[in-house]
Structure 1
Amino acid sequence: MFARTERLTLRPGWVEDAPQLARAAGHEAVARNTSRMPWPYALGDAEAFLRMPQAPRTPSLLVFAHEGDGIRLVGGAGLHRSDAGAHELGYWITPDAWGRGYATEAAQAVLAIADTLRIPEVSACHFVDNPASGRVLRKLGFRPTGEQALAHCRARGGEVPALQYSRGLAGGPALPDPRDAPPLAA
Structure 2
Amino acid sequence: MAILSTPRLLLRDWTDEPVDLTRLFDIYSRPEIARWLGATSGLPLTDPAQAADRLASWRRRHADHGDRYGTWAIEVRDTGVVVGTAMLKPLPGRDEKILTDDIEVGWHLHPDAWGNGYATEAAEALLDREFATGTPLVHAVVAPGNTASTAVARRLGMTHVGRRTDWYGGEELETFVRHRFA
TM-score range (shorter-chain normalised) is 0.7 to 0.9
Task: For residue 161 of structure 1, report the CA deviation from its aligned partner.
Answer: 4.1
Structure 1, unaligned runs of 5 or more: 175-186
Aligned to 2:69: 58
User: In the superposition, relative to structure 1, how do residues 29 and 151 fare at CA in structure 2: closer, same or farther (>3 Å)?
Assistant: farther
Larger Rg: 1
In 2: Cα distance, 1:47 partner to 1:65 partner: 22
In 1: Cα distance, 2:22 partner to 2:82 partner: 10
Q: What secondary structure does 1:119 align onto? A: coil
TM-score between both structures, scaled by the size of structure 2? 0.79
Q: Note the aligned Cα RMSD (angstroms).
A: 2.3
Are 2:23 and 1:20 equivalent residues in the alignment? Answer: yes
In 1: Cα distance, 2:146 partner to 2:113 partner: 16
Q: Could you report, residue by residue, the CA deviation over 1:112-158 in whole angstroms, capped at 9, with x for unpaired residues?
A: 2212332221111211211121111111111111x2135888xxxx9
Q: Could you report, residue by residue, the CA deviation over 1:85-122 in whole angstroms, capped at 9, with x for unpaired residues?
A: 21011111001111111111111121122123322211
Aligned to 2:113: 97
Aligned to 1:44: 49
Are 2:134 and 1:118 equivalent residues in the alignment? Answer: yes
In 2: Cα distance, 1:73 partner to 1:151 partner: 32
> Percent of aligned positions with the same letter in both sequences?
29
The code of the aligned residue for 1:22 comes to F
Corresponding pairs, count: 164
Aligned to 2:10: 9
The code of the aligned residue for 1:91 comes to W
Aligned to 2:35: 32
User: In the superposition, relative to structure 1, how do residues 50 and 117 fare at CA in structure 2: closer, same or farther (>3 Å)?
Assistant: farther
Structure 2, unaligned runs of 5 or more: 94-99
CA contact (8 A) 1:34 1:92 kept: no
Q: What secondary structure does 1:91 align onto? A: strand
The code of the aligned residue for 1:119 comes to T
**Where does structure 1 differ by over 6 angstroms across 4 or more consecutive aligned residues?**
none
Task: For residue 22 of structure 1, report the CA deviation from its aligned partner.
Answer: 1.0
Q: What secondary structure does 1:123 align onto? A: strand
In 2: Cα distance, 1:11 partner to 1:21 partner: 13
Task: For residue 65 of structure 1, report the CA deviation from its aligned partner.
Answer: 1.7
In 1: Cα distance, 2:51 partner to 2:125 partner: 23
